[in-house]
Amino acid sequence: MKKTLAALFLLGIFGSCSHPAKEENTEKTNFSYYGDTITEENAKEATQLASLMGDKGKMDVKITGKISDVCQRKGCWMDVDLGNNQTMKVRFKDYGFFVPKDAAGKTFIMEGEAFHDTVSVAQLRHYAEDAGKTKEEIEKITEPEINLNFEAKGVIIK
């Protein structure tokens, strides 16, 4: 009886552990996958995204570039570099996965939907708080912003 209970206990512990990232480590690659498994093929440079979108309000696209910042609470969003001192906020489809909090500076490939959106003062302050900004920096946010945003269904981090 004790052995059965112990086995069930261990099975419960190991069964409840989840691994949100799938990793592929070979001589050629060292990738971590988050969300849907995607490939690198046909990824456009993030610095080209604004021109690719043109006047479109939204578009499905696969892009690659550098991660500039990540939510330090949970990894529930990341900012990516668009060039010209511009960044883009990336959230994850259905809040279904997160990325590592130490991913800033790493290369990404992601697939999903790019779109223009008005970000409220409350949401901008929330992002600033998640990023570890000071109270003074957060209080300086007083106007909403219209930004290019992205909802990723899958992300690769190198």
pLDDT at 6 over 90: no
pLDDT tens digit sequence for 45-89: 999 999 999 889 899 999 999 999 999 989 999 999 999 899 999
Tell me: the pLDDT tens digits for 74-133? 999 999 999 989 999 999 999 999 999 999 999 999 999 999 989 899 999 988 888 888
Q: What are phi and psi of 5, to 5 degrees?
A: -65, -40
The span from the CA of 77 to the CA of 92, in Å, is 7
What's the distance, Cα to Cα, between the start and end of the chain in Å?
48
- Measured CA to CA, the distance from residue 139 to residue 25 in angstroms comes to 44
Q: Which fold has domain 22-157?
A: OB fold (Dihydrolipoamide Acetyltransferase, E2P) (2.40.50)
Closest among 51, 49, 81 to 62, alpha carbons compared: 49
Spans of all domains in the chain: 22-157
pLDDT band at 29 (very low <50, low <70, confident <90, very high): low
Other Cβ atoms less than 10 A from the Cβ of 94: the count is 9
